[in-house]
Amino acid sequence: TDDGKPKEYMVTDGLRVYFQESEDLRIGQVSVAGGATAPVETGFTRSWLTGITHDSSALLVAVPADSALTSAALWLVPVPAGEPRRLGNFEPNSPDLDFFSLVNESGLFPDGRVVFAELSRESDGKSAFSTDWFVAERDGSKPRKLVSLPGVVGKASVSPDGQQIILIQEQPGNRRLFEIAADGTGLHEIRRLSEGEWNFRWTPDGKYLVYQAGIEPPSDIWLLPMKTGLFGRVGEPFRLTHGPLPYSFPCPSRDGKQIFALGSRQRGELVRYDMKSKQFVPFLSGISATDPTFSRDGKWVAYASFPDRTLWRSRSDGSERMQLTYAPVEVETPMISPDGTKVAFFTPRDDVFLVSMEGGTPQKILENACCPIWSPNGNFLFYHHSWRAGGSWVAGGGMIADLRTGEKSAVPSSERIFPFWLNQDTLIAPNEKGTNFVTFNLKTGKWMDLGPGNLSGIEHWMMSPDYKYMYFSTAGSEPKAMRLRIADLQVETITSLKDFHRVVNDGNTQINVSPDGSPVFTRDTGYQEIYALNVRWP
């Protein structure tokens, strides 16, 4: 491919490669010989590719049930054309994991049966999950439980003969690769996995699993021999690629002679949308960065470099630039304190840190926490109790930490709500379905609808530095940048984002707001293309 769009999971029927476009949740296709890409007309605004039938007649597609992306119905979409057919009435779901954590938890057997997962909270009420796996008939009927395991257990891959299933178990600090027979017997651990080992797929002959290893970037394609030797033991993994690009999402061809994989070069350009000229213009000279955050007086900015995610600060004109964190620390959603003296951020390990704007060693202040947001007076941080699983956040409830005393208090009914502070006593966020804004009053302890009414798929949001507007972007085939004026709840469309390719960073795009009220984005100037790698099997 050579279309410049972010991509993920892919399958092949031997003639075409079908792939997921991760920016707008649509499915594309390209010939195995290469060439122009084309969309797959699924009939849905948003859909996610998760498999293909053995006879190549249809794609298995997950369709989000709502804009909050908390559940997904499974459909078969005929190719090259035909009417989609829903499989049963089940909806793989989770109360706290986002859509991306759910959709690849399903797959197909050679005979057309479907395997899918449902996640639920443990009965002890703690922030832990269990996963139930089911097998249903080819039309989705008669689902029966295959296995139930603690943690987030997903990324199923069914062997070519339909006899075995590969599963990955995700628990805090513990990742394991399991194999289970199709009848639910013989569950056993194959090996423990490192943090960067992902996307296991069977080769057509069932002799190997191909997978990616390494934190991207860089990552390479590896091979795991299955059931070798006298006693049928799994062999030692070995590496298939050594660059020159980071490769991910391997997909063996139907004839076994090639492996299709994504080759990536990550780079972004920081831009702002000029409200007067109605154009995107470079910001901070168009550096490769994400998540700019500004001091209250507008004189300073901090941001995460992309793709290495180190934290920098500078004057808003780009002068007096200073690096605040260094590898291997990876910074997510930095936020400058109201007094402009420090930056709060969290890491992929879900620990919250503070670092001085003048440099120095970051100090860990919270564990198993993400998305810290300063209160207007700087005395409190809102955050979510969380941890990583399946490459995504497992979000517990929202919490407020008093930085003066260390005391913490829970915010009720906030598992799927990520708010900003509207004022010292009020939080504001989209509702769980992303169709409206709600507020939480810290004095009364109640959530209330704010308005302005039914919006279309709020995707990402950011409070303006003066607390007068909530800026947000919408999802779907016609994405837009918009803002809500708090004083009278008037909604303004700023610009269309349909042809503006944004960086997908850790599964998300972004919207930020500069001191002058201009929305800020990171334009994707890198590439992520599908390559065909010829392979000689050992």
| 55-99 confidence digits (pLDDT tens) | 999 999 988 876 545 567 889 999 998 999 998 876 655 444 444
- Judge whether residue 150 has pLDDT over 50: yes
pLDDT at 222 (0 to 100): 96
* pLDDT in the model for residue 218: 75
Residues 397-412: what's their mean pLDDT? 94
**Mean pLDDT in the chain?**
88
Residue 536 CB neighbour total at 10 angstroms: 6
Q: Count CB atoms within 10 A of the CB of residue 523.
A: 17
Mind listing the pLDDT tens digit for each residue in 442-466?
Answer: 999 999 999 777 787 888 999 999 9
319: helix, strand or coil: coil
> What DSSP string describes 39-106?
E---SSSS-EEEEE-TTSSEEEEEEESSTT--BEEEEEEESSS---EE-SS---B-SSS-GGGTTTSE
Task: Please say whether the beta carbons of 530 and 19 come within 8 A.
Answer: yes
pTM higher than the cut 0.75: no
Q: Is the peptide bond before 92 cis (omega within 30 degrees of 0)?
A: no
| 247-276: average pLDDT | 94
- Rounded Cα distance between 506 and 133, Å, is 26
- Are 150 and 171 within 8 A, CB to CB? yes
Residue 392 has pLDDT above 90, yes or no: no
Distance CA 497, CA 499 (A): 6
User: Which pair of structure tokens corresponds to residue 529?
Assistant: 């293309």
Q: What is the rounded distance in angstroms from the CA atom of residue 73 to the CA atom of residue 342?
A: 44
User: 132 falls in which pLDDT band (50, 70, 90)?
Assistant: confident
Query: For the segment 471-500, what is each residue's pLDDT rounded down to a tens digit?
Result: 999 987 789 999 999 999 999 999 999 989
- Token digits for 198? 């992902």
> Distance (Å, rounded) from C-alpha 42 to C-alpha 28?
10
